[in-house]
Amino acid sequence: MTSSTTEASAPTPAETDPTTVPELVAAATRAGVVWAATSRQDRAAVLDAVADALDAAGGTLVPLAVEDSHLAEGRLRGELQRTTFQLRLFGEVLREGSYLDVRVDHPDAEWPMGAPRPDLRRTMVPLGPVVVFAAGNFPFAFSVAGNDMASALAAGCPVLLKAHPGHLRLSLATAEVVQRALAEAGAPEGLFTLVVGDEAGRAALTDPGVTAGGFTGSTGGGRALFDLAVSRPVPIPFFGELGSVNPVFVTRAAAEARGAEIAKEAIGSFTLGAGQFCTKPGVLVVPNGSPLLEALSSADLPGPAPMLSERMVEGHNRVRHELEGVAGVEVLARGTDAEDGTPAPTILRTDVATLLADVEDLFRECFGPTVLVATYEGSGGNEDLVALAQAIDGQLTASVFGETSDVEGVRELVSVLANRAGRLLWNAWPTGVSVTYAQEHGGPYPATTAPSTTSVGTGAIARWLRPVAYQGFPSGLLPGELRDELDEGADAPRLEDGRLRLSGRER
């Protein structure tokens, strides 16, 4: 791949020739065979080496990220730290081994189903080459070395990473660090490849050698790629995160007890990063006449903050204008937009009845610093909250702010929201997605195209794996973790004859 220099600080990569994609996929396929056969401990060491290299390159990468994204240096340094932590955490997942979901059933002539049980041993194997489409709003954590790349490499899959056009120079620089670290750590050539340009990205997703795709971005773009993935002669899984409104429901008791506090936190959450988080709260459902509503209407909002690109500015301003144009919507509070059109934080107001009457036009993502407040009148029950929860579509998150006295009263609301969102929050804001073991960053469509998976947290490794059962095989032909006599480094927790063993050596 060639590149041209537009600024002294870094080159801008040229677009990948789509006709070269089959060759890139073939190289990834060859690398994948070697990588899948590499021990879990060695794969973990490679992930650690990539993390170390990215940390060491922070002094070069972070200034590039600032230039490309207009995000603050402090935010980006924290994001790089999150990215390298994530790589190391997946290394720990590999060493521990429970992600393999090992199951061993020894032969049982007295198996109660009426026929003898054969020797069956089940584990997980990598899917093969995957294409990851980087996101624009997190130049490190959801981009070249981000969530999908880290989990796919950990799973044993080679990665073709389609760069986001919003930070191409950073993407090239990051990819060079990753590729150099992989080579120095002994990883096979072709394990990680940067692809630039929409045509090349589509060519990769439809190449017969590619086995899965990952995406974080807009609903329109994600749906188009999803349709490509499933309309191939051999359809492949496509794990897309598309968009979310992330509603927040506030009980009357909470609004009365903590109205000013909740209002301050709400403003901090929906303006964080200029509102360019996939988990930004887009709709606040609050009781009419409460101190919370008063605090929002009189709030001292921050000024306009630079957005990622002019395209983001235009998209936000268009949706904000459309929301304002719906009958029954008014401006509750707003700052002054910058002269160049950069939007100031805006709080719009309607009521739940209006929202329910026009869910399609009002309950929608406005990517940027705008939030819609919907008021309800109920003094005791939460019927309006439940009705709205039942009317909305799939979300990444849904939050409930309440008091201890509300627990029984919101039980139905929480039950409904559990069918609508991947992560539920109690007295907490959805912005900020911790990389940990129990994290769920997903949800029913249109939040994602694969609601049974997560893109953040250690559970993300399952996206890139599939189960294989071996029946009656001699030990020498079994994967190491399935053998009764385990090789060094092959041990993993297992379900053995229906009993969980934390180690396969516990016999």
Residues with active-site annotation: 241, 278
Indicate the pairing of strand 421-426 with strand 10-13: unpaired
CA distance 195 to 28: 12
Residue 321 parent element (H or E) = helix 310-324
The DSSP result for 444-466, as a single string, is: STTSBS-TT--SSSGGGGGGGEE
Strands (DSSP E) along 64-158, which ranges? 102-105, 120-126, 130-133
Helix (H) or strand (E) holding 221: helix 219-230
Question: For residues 59 and 63, what is the distance between their CA atoms, to the nearest angstrom?
Answer: 7
R_g over Cα of the chain: 25
Identify whether 446 is preceded by a cis peptide bond (ω within 30 of 0).
yes
Nearest to 480, CA basis, from 100, 77, 22: 100
- Asked if 457 and 439 touch (Cβ cutoff 8 Å), the reply is yes
SS3 398: strand
Residues of 147-183 as b/e, b for ≥16 C-beta within 10 angstroms? Answer: bbbbbbbbbbbbbbbbbbebbbbbbbbbbbbbbebbe
